[in-house]
Amino acid sequence: AKSRGKGKSEVFDRAMHDRASERLHLETGLRRAVEHGELYLAYQPIFRLADRTTVSFEALARWRHPVRGLLSPAVFIPVAEASGLILALGDWVLRECCKRMRLWLDEHPGAADMSIAANISAKQLMQGDLVARVARILDETGLDPRHLKLEVTESVLMENAELAVDILGRLRDLGIRLAVDDFGTGYSSLSYLRRFPVDALKIDRSFVSNMDVNPEKFEIVRAIVQLGRALNLDVCAEGVETEAELAGLVSLGCGLGQGYLYARPLPADEARAFIPPPGEE
């Protein structure tokens, strides 16, 4: 039994070592990636469920790795967070999407009421002097703040709710919009939710997926939509993949959605085809 225990711990050490070197490897690569233009943003349309009109885009980071191919943010964002690189990466993401929105506004009159949404990580929110950074990027890119939306996950907000209330308030004062991401997974206290100066709730995909055949999910989505209505917030369902899910969401009065049913995250030149023609509002 003893030798088996030792064997196990060797296997464990080895696995730890592999993970550590994988992380270090990615971290080194990520530094280079930002400088060498290996990162890009994919844009996923967010649409009004009732008439399937695009109202916004969410910017999602992608890494075109020279050896490993396309890497998911689920792989490299945690590495960026742990290493502190997230601040530089986050600035890059914000600058890219502000530039993109600015360009689309110039080229497409139909984009006049649209916004672009960027994801903000825990470190960016809590340690990064985010308000000053966002203000500077808006200034540099000349984007009207009302076209920018920031998404922060519910769990990040609840980790340090008092501080979050303060930072969100100062971001709001810049004139940008805010959304609580992955809502339903982070145990918000309702009193805090009321105090967060946000504009929208995004229902986590785990509740939307198969909600038409899973009564518990259906009821959770119903509760979130009602909560949004009570607090006067937009509600956006993530990960809408089927017509049945869409019909369920519409029956509950959910206003907005995003998902493969309508469009996948797309490179900028393909995403722009989803900007509505002028005068359709």
Is-contact 145 97, C-beta < 8 A?
Answer: no
Is-contact 97 136, C-beta < 8 A?
Answer: no
* Radius of gyration of the CA atoms of the chain, in A: 20
Output the smallest distance, CB 197 to ligand C2E, in A: 20
Paired tokens of 108: 């497409």
Residue nearest to ligand C2E (CB): 259
- Give dist(CA 74, CA 79) in Å, integer: 9
Applying the rule CB under 5 A, the residues between 149 and 208 that interact with Ca ion are 151, 181-182, 204-205
Output the smallest distance, CB 66 to Ca ion, in A: 27
Contact pattern for Ca ion over residues 103 through 122, marking x by CB under 5 A: ----------------x---
- Judged by beta carbon distances under 5 to 8 A according to partner kind, the member of ligand C2E, Ca ion, none in contact with residue 239 is ligand C2E
| 234 in contact with Ca ion (CB under 5 A) | no
Beta strands in 49-158 (DSSP E): 53-65, 69-71, 115-120, 148-153
CA dihedral 67, 71, 74, 80 (to 10 degrees): 60
Q: Name the residues that contact ligand C2E, by CB under 6 A.
A: 44, 60-61, 72-74, 77, 93, 119-121, 181-182, 205, 238-241, 258-260, 265
Which C-beta is closer to Ca ion: that of 100 or that of 110?
Answer: 100
Of 247, 250, 266, the C-alpha closest to 45 is 266
Output the smallest distance, CB 34 to ligand C2E, in A: 12
Which C-beta is closer to Ca ion: that of 67 or that of 74?
Answer: 74
Output the smallest distance, CB 179 to ligand C2E, in A: 10
Amino acid at 38: E
**Residue 105, SS3?**
helix
Place of tokens 């049945």: 244
- Judged by beta carbon distances under 5 to 8 A according to partner kind, the member of ligand C2E, Ca ion, none in contact with residue 199 is none
Summarize as ranges the residues that interact with Ca ion (CB under 5 A).
Answer: 119, 151, 181-182, 204-205
